[in-house]
Amino acid sequence: MNIAKKFNLWMGIALLILCFFIIFVVYPLILILYKSVIDPESSKLTLDYFTKFFARKYYWSTLVNSFYVTVCSTIIASVIGLPMAYVLRSVKIPGSKYLNILIVISYLSPPFIGAYAWIQLLGRNGFVTQIINSIFGVKLDGIYGFAGIVLVFALQSFPLIYMYVSGALKNLDNSLNEAAESLGLTAFQRVRQIILPLVMPSLLAGSLLVFMRVFSDFGTPMLIGEGFKTFPVLIYTQFMGEVSTDDHFAASLCVIVIVITLLLFFLQRYIAGHYSYSMTALKPMEAVEAKGSKKIFAYLFVYGVTFLAMLPQLTVIFTSFLEVSGGAVYTGNFSLQ
C-alpha cells in the first residue's frame, strides 16, 4: 500500500524520462565507445584507431583547425554580445524591445541558412562581392576559408552571449555602479572592474555554449570551408565518405570530441566558481538617455550589429521571391514560383 502511494504520476514521468535518456543518450555513447576500441576483424581491444588519428597530420590538423576557428569565433561573439547587452540595458534605444526579438530570431535559424545567405552576399559571385569588385576594380575570392567561417559563426553565436549577459544585468544592483562612479571611476573602468566580474559566470556559461555549438557545427565549414577542413567534417567523411568509410575510426573521433567536451565543461565550472557572486537587484540598472557622440555610437553599434545578424534571414527572404531561369540563373524579376 505504501509503495502504491509513493508511485504517483510524477514518479512515472521521471522513470519514463530516465528510460528515454538511457536509450537515446547513454546507449549510443556506450556503442560509440565500444566501436572505437574494438577491432572489427578480430573483435579484440585495440587503440589503433586513436594511434591512426594522432600519427597522421591530415587527421589531427583538422582538430587544430576546429580549435582555431572555435576560439576565434567565441572571442569575437563575446566582444559583440557583451557590449550589446550592456548598451541595450544602460542606454535608451528606440525600439529596443523589437531589437531583442530580432536578435533572438537571428540565433534561432539553422547555421546552414546563415552560411547559404552569406555565400549569396559574399561568395565569388555574391551581390556584395560584385559591387566591391566593380567599384574598386579588384577580384575578391569570396567568403570561403577560415575568415568566412569565423565571420558566419561569430554573427550566428553572439546572441547566446547577449541573452546570458542580459539576464545577469537584470539582477545587477546598480548602487555598486553608482558607488564606483562617485569614487571617480570612468565608464570603462566601471565596466571592467565592477560589471564584468559580476556577469563573468553568465559570460562563461554563454561562451561554453558558443564554443560547443561552433566546435560541433558541420554545415558551415562544409559549405564555405573549401580547403579548410574541420573536425566535424572529418567525422562526416569517415561515416559517409564517397570513396571509403570507416565506422570504427569515426567512432574514435567521436570519443575524442566527447572527452574534449567534458574537459571544457569542468574547466568552465572551475573558472566560474572563482567568479560566483550572489546578487540581489535592490536597485536595478535603468536605461538612461545618452547624449552627443555616445548616443550616436550606441545607436550605430546596436542597429548595425542587429542588421548584420538579421542579414542572412533578409537575404533568404529576398532571394526566395526572385525569378530564376534554368533553376540557377536569376532573371532580375520577382516571382512566386
pLDDT digits (tens, 9 = 90+) for 99-150: 999 999 988 877 778 888 888 888 888 888 888 888 888 888 888 889 899 9
**Max mean pLDDT range (22-26, 166-170, 212-216, 264-268):** 22-26
Grid coordinates belonging to 119: 555565400
What is the pLDDT, as a whole number, of residue 6? 60
pLDDT digits (tens, 9 = 90+) for 294-316: 889 999 999 999 999 999 889 88
* Domains defined for the chain, CATH in brackets: 64-312 (1.10.3720.10)
Per-residue pLDDT at 52 exceeds 70: yes
What is the pLDDT, as a whole number, of residue 275? 66
Question: How far apart are alpha carbons 49 and 39 in whole angstroms?
Answer: 9
Least confident stretch, 56-65, 230-239, 265-274: 265-274
Structure confidence at residue 16 as a pLDDT band (50, 70, 90): very high
Instruction: List, in order, residues 6 or more apart from 127 with CB less than 8 Å away.
Output: 120, 121
Q: What one-character-per-residue DSSP string does 269-291 give? A: HHHHHTT------SSB---B---
According to DSSP, the residues that pair with 173 across neighbouring strands are 284
Among 307, 143, 106, 114, residue whose Cα is nearest residue 217: 114
Between 219 and 17, the higher pLDDT residue: 17
CA dihedral 23, 27, 31, 37 (to 10 degrees): 180
Please give the DSSP secondary-structure letter assigned to residue 1: -
Question: How far apart are alpha carbons 170 and 167 in whole angstroms?
Answer: 5
- Three-class SS of residue 56? coil
What is the pLDDT, as a whole number, of residue 240? 81
Instruction: Give me Rg for the CA atoms of the chain.
Output: 25
pLDDT digits (tens, 9 = 90+) for 64-98: 999 999 999 999 999 999 999 989 988 889 988 99
Least confident stretch, 6-10, 273-277, 278-282: 278-282
